[in-house]
Each structure stands twice: as C-alpha cells, then as structure tokens.
Structure 1
Amino acid sequence: MIAVSVVSHGHGEMVTSLVASLLPFPEVSRILVTLNRPESLPLPEDERILVIRNAFAKGFSANHNTAYAFCREPFFCVVNPDIELRSNPFPALLQASAKADAALTAPMVLSLQGTVENSFRRFPNLRRLVAKVLGQVDQSYTAIPEEQDIFFPEWVAGMFMLFSSVDFAALNGFDEKFFLYYEDVDICVRAWKSGRKVAVCPAAAVVHDARCSSHHDIRFLRWHLASMARYFYKHWGRLPAVPITRT
C-alpha cells in the first residue's frame, strides 16, 4: 500500500534502525533506500527493501523523484533518516488522507523531549523572512489542533510527507531545481494552486532526532540562499490563499 523513500548521506545505523522500524508495519509494502554516497549499510534481509546506489550525489528532490520511479503503491512516503517511529503512524495517516481527500498528509513531529516541532507553517514571504532573521518565532499555528482533528496548514516540512501517488505524479514530483531547502514549500504551494489539499493529522506522531552539525558548512548556507531565491522568483506574488480549516 505504501512505498517509503529514505535517503542516506552516510547516516549508517540511523537508516538501518529506521528501516527495521518500518518493516513490521503492514501498510509498508516497499522501502526504497537511496545511498547518496558510497557506504556499507547493514540492512535487514527483506524482499521489500530496494537499495538505489547513486553514481554521484543528488539533491533531495532528485533523490526522491528517482525513488518514486520504483513506486507501484498507491501511496508514496518521504521520510528523513533522522525520524524515529516509536509507534505506527500509518493507520491514522491513511484514515486522515481519505477523510480529507488530501494529496499530502503529514503527522505531528515531536522533538526527542516530546515537544511539538514547528513542522507546519505559513508560506515564507518577505515579512516572515525578516522576522526570522530577527530571531522571531513564527506564531502562525501556535494553537495545536485537538486530537483527531485534521488540520490544513499552508505547508509541511519535508522530513515526513505521505503523498497519494497519483497526486505526486500529477504534480510532477519535487522540483529538482531546488537542490536542498524549499522543495517542501514549493510542492505544497503547487498542491494548493492545483486545488489539492495539504493536511496534518495530529493523531499520528513521529520523533525528529535532529542533528544539524553539518549545516555549519558554508555549502549549506549557499544552498539555502539559492533555494530561497528560486522560491521567491517562482512564487513571488502568486501564493495561493489557504483558509485555516479543520475537519
């Protein structure tokens, strides 16, 4: 029913642990593991696991689009390697996806300490960008929806995204001109523009074991700025209006 795409950038045991946690879930019929750089990854022996080895490093969008080419399931799920699954989020997510008729459904994302992370937000604009530079926290969605509600934010972070495969194909997947950063914002913009929905299911939760030490590398800053520039060039003045609704 669900093909899960995970990309390893030398994450090693973190990916092995994530794959092992996915295998018992009956909804997961395929696990697509992309090795974005050479590494020896001790994965469990299971016919549902397909390993894709890149000849050269690709960006977030290209990696998951390539993995999608192997998807034969009705749902395609993008999961970052630093996500922990302490319980099965898929029954609630699938139920919410059907109820909301959503192209993309995401769970609540919790920190290791159990606090809710800011994984669903309003679209970036100049005012919000300036506020972020000044260190102000985006308070757009501070009221967390009550359990069992389905919430429709403007965009959700790419660390865990459950797509209807039909809708992912109709959107032509992620824009590969975004190498890293903003590809999640962009696909949500395009989903809403096309009349599709982006939903969050508070009844499902995953844990984000964030490890951002590599992001001190100047390359990440350049990728971030380049993606930001592309996002504003592509969508400036053309962002869809998304009403705050729940079901």
Structure 2
Amino acid sequence: MSNHYNISATIVLFKEQEDVLLKAVNSFLAYSGEKKLFLVDNSPTPISNSYILNHPEITYIFNNKNLGFSKANNLVISKIKDNSKYHLVLNPDTVFKPQVLDELVEQFEINEELSIVAPAIKYPDGEHQYSVRKYPNFLDLLFRKTGISKKRIYQQEYRNLDLSQPFFPEAVHGCFMLFKTEDFTQINGFDERYFLYMEDLDICKKIDQIGKKKYYFPSVEVTHVLRKGSAINIRLFFYHFSSAVKYFLKWL
C-alpha cells in the first residue's frame, strides 16, 4: 500500500467500548479514497480485536500509559507530514456517512484560505449540538458550567445565527476536525500542555496566527454521542479547570 493518502485520521482511545469504536472506525474506512487511520491508545491494556490489528489501512499505536489527548494526537505528525493532504481528528464516539468526507474536502478545494472544515454535529436522536463557538473568557466558562446566564451561553454558541447556513466561526468542536494537513503540521498540532479539554479552542487560535480560517459547513452532518464527563467526574473537572487556566494564561 502507498504511504501517500488523501486523508489520514487519528482516533485517541482510552478504555473504549469496542462496539462504539468500531462504528467510528468503519465510518472513516468507508471513505473511498486513499486513506490511513491511526488508532492511538492511551488505555492501560491494549486491544485484541483482530479486525483492527490486521487491517491494512489501520495503524494501531499502544502507548502503555495515558499521554493525554493532545500528545497522543501529535504522535502521528511525523507520519502524516508530506504523506497526507487532509487530516481528520475524530472522537471514538462519532459516526458519519461515507459522502461526508468528500463534501468537506470539496470546501478546501473551493477556498484555499481554509485550515479547518467542520460539519454540523447531531446527537443520536437528531437534535442539534452547538458545536461552533466564540472564544470564551473566564466568565463564559463559568456560566456554561453553572447555567447562570443562558443569554450569554446562546451568544457564545452563535445561537443568534441561522446554523443551517455556513459561516466562519472562531472555534469548532474537537470531536470532528478536518484539517489541511500542511497547516496542522506547520503549527505542530495540538499544544501538549493540555492533557484534556480546551485543546480545540487553542488550536483554533493557532490557526488564526497563521492567517487561515475555520469553516462551518452544515450541509453535511455527523453524529456524536457527547459524553459529558467533566460535569460529573471530579478528576475530569480538575483536568478541565487546569486546562482553562493554561488557556487563559496563554491567550488573554
């Protein structure tokens, strides 16, 4: 198989349910063009699924420790640089139809200023997820966690706009981010100081620094389960708080 592919993708794993993971894996593998999927596993024990381990279009990387989301994603930078035209960062609980990638790639070809193209994101029941947002300040995050000001949250999530129409948001959700690989590698991927959370906002800021744009294209959609971990888990809440502090110290 050629080492050059039109689209590469990374899914970072941590104790994933195999049936859920396989849906995400097969969503990507249904793409008809040249492709390569990297499964980067932060779990304490490796997977044993023979389909994944033996598939010619999948490279499985077992870290034997939890490197965090950003560092795990960045492990593939040297593998995709000069080999991949577009790179997808995909959550293991996100699925989509085969034509989605073709339609998103087409947007890059229409507008060379784009670094990221993101689809509309839906819950499994079809309800819309508010996956594009403005860059937050500290109060915005506080209001999001406590629900104090719905008006402020709505403005933060562009709910005042017609989200059935494409536009250029400040930031997009990290569950499905399709990058131009050249730009992703130029900015050295995600900032590895973020173990979990805020890395999607940060990388959108880095895209701004190289003068490129992010594009929300809701004519296509993907489905994301959205596990709201940090709201119910103390450890995950700590990661979120720690990442928020790093983000604001860096950018504000």
Q: TM-score, length-normalised on structure 1? A: 0.88
Gaps of 5+ in 2: 1-5
Aligned to 1:184: 200
Gaps of 5+ in 1: 237-247
Aligned to 1:84: 95
The question of 1:100 aligning with 2:99 is answered: no
Aligned residues of 1:13 and 1:41 also touching (Cα < 8 A): no
Aligned residues of 2:37 and 2:57 also touching (Cα < 8 A): yes
In the aligned structure 2, how far is the partner of 1:154 from the partner of 1:109? 16
Deviation at 1:41, TM superposition (A): 4.2
In the aligned structure 1, how far is the partner of 2:46 from the partner of 2:64? 12
Question: 64, 68, 82: which one pairs with 1:59?
Answer: 68
Amino acid in structure 1 at the alignment position of 2:179: F
SS at match of 2:106: helix
Deviation at 1:46, TM superposition (A): 2.5
Q: Describe how 1:207-222 pairs up with structure 2 within 5 A.
A: 207-212=223-228, 216-222=232-238
Aligned to 1:39: 46
Task: Evaluate the alpha carbon distance shift between residue 125 and residue 160 of structure 1 in structure 2; reply closer, same or farther with a 3 A threshold.
Answer: same
Amino acid in structure 2 at the alignment position of 1:144: D
Aligned to 1:240: none
In the aligned structure 1, how far is the partner of 2:47 from the partner of 2:99? 27
Q: Describe how 1:111-190 pairs up with structure 2 within 5 A.
A: 111-135=123-147, 136-137=149-150, 138-140=153-155, 141-142=158-159, 143-146=161-164, 149-190=165-206
The question of 1:227 aligning with 2:233 is answered: no
Aligned residues of 2:77 and 2:188 also touching (Cα < 8 A): no
Amino acid in structure 1 at the alignment position of 2:115: A
Structure with a larger share of its residues in helix: 2
- Equivalenced residue count is 234
Deviation at 1:117, TM superposition (A): 0.4
Task: Evaluate the alpha carbon distance shift between residue 211 and residue 129 of structure 1 in structure 2; reply closer, same or farther with a 3 A threshold.
Answer: closer
Aligned residues of 1:16 and 1:41 also touching (Cα < 8 A): no
Cα RMSD (Å): 1.8
In the aligned structure 2, how far is the partner of 1:68 from the partner of 1:144? 36
Deviation at 1:215, TM superposition (A): 5.8
1:124-167, Cα deviation, whole Å (9 max, x unpaired): 11342343244034223112344xx5311000111000111110
In the aligned structure 2, how far is the partner of 1:2 from the partner of 1:111? 25
In the aligned structure 2, how far is the partner of 1:213 from the partner of 1:227? 15
In the aligned structure 2, how far is the partner of 1:133 from the partner of 1:123? 16
